[in-house]
Copies of this chain bind each other. A is one copy, B any other.
Amino acid sequence: MSATPRIKARAAKALRPRDSASRADRATRTTDLGLLPSLLGYRLRLAQRAIFTDFVSSMGEAEISPGLFGILVIIEANPGLKQTELSIAAHLDRSSIVPVVDKLETRGYVSRRASAIDRRVNGLWLTSEGSAVLRKLKRTVIAHERRIARRLSAAEQQRLFDLLAKLLP
Contacts and interface: CB of A to CB of B under 8 A. Distances in A.
A150 B156 CA distance: 21
A143 interface: no
A40 B160 CA distance: 9
A133 interface: no
A61 B121 CA distance: 39
Contacts of A36: 70, 73-74
A62 interface: no
Interface of A: 1-4, 24, 27-28, 30-36, 39-52, 54-55, 66-68, 70-71, 73-74, 76-78, 81, 84-86, 88-92, 96, 100, 138, 141, 145, 148-149, 151-152, 156-157, 159-161, 163-169
